[in-house]
Amino acid sequence: MSQAIKERFYKGVKKHNLRMTKPRKAMVEVLDNKHLTFKEILKGMQDRGYLNVQTVYNTLYFLLDQKVVCESFFNDLKYYELSLTNQNHDANSHIHLIDTVDEGISIKEIYAPEIFEFIKNYDELRKFDIDSIKIVIEGKEK
C-alpha cells in the first residue's frame, strides 16, 4: 500500500473507531487495489498464515459491515474490494467497467462524479432519496 493510501485508510479506520486486529490488517493488504472473490481472499489470507476459513469469513463480514470493504456482482460472481481508500467510489456508489477478455474478466473503474450528479438530478429521481448508485458496464475493449 502506498504511504498516502495507508494514511487515508487509517484515518478512515480511526473515524469509524475500528480496532484493526492482525487478521483485519492482513485482509486490507490482500484486498489493496484489487477486486477479489472470496476464494481469492481466502488464498491470500492462507498465504499469510490465516488458515481458518471461519476466521477469514468473520473478518470479511466485519469489514463489510463497517463499510471498509464493499461487494459487487460481476459475471454472476461476488467480488470484494476496499471502499475506504478508493477514490473512484465509496461503498455505495461506483461505476465498474467489465472487460470480458478471453480468459475470465478484467475489472476497471471509472472516476466520473458527474454521472452520479446527472442521475441524482434526473427529473424523476429528484424526490427520491438515493442510497446507492451502482453501474456495471460490460463489453470488450475496441
9 vs 81, beta carbon nearer Zn ion: 81
Q: State the minimum distance, in angstroms, from the CB of residue 70 to Zn ion.
A: 8
Residues 6+ apart with CB under 8 A from 29: 1, 48
Q: Which is nearer to Zn ion, 123 or 141 (CB)?
A: 141
How many residues touch Zn ion (CB under 5 A)?
2
Q: How far is the CB of 81 from Zn ion (least distance, A)?
A: 5
**C-beta of residue 52 within 8 angstroms of C-beta of residue 10:** no
Residues within window 63-122 making contact with Zn ion, judged by CB under 5 A = 81, 109
Rounded to the nearest whole angstrom, what is the least distance from the CB of residue 52 to Zn ion in the complex?
27
Residue 26 phi, psi dihedral angles, 5° rounding: -60, -40
Pure H helices in 1-142: 3-15, 22-31, 38-47, 53-65, 113-120
Q: Does 59 bind Zn ion (CB under 5 A)?
A: no
Q: Please state the closest distance from residue 91 (CB atom) to Zn ion, in A.
A: 10
Which is closer to Zn ion, CB of 119 or CB of 125?
A: 119
**CA–CA gap between residue 91 and residue 94 (Å, rounded):** 8
Cβ–Cβ < 8 Å for 29, 1: yes
Interface positions with Zn ion (CB under 5 A)? 81, 109
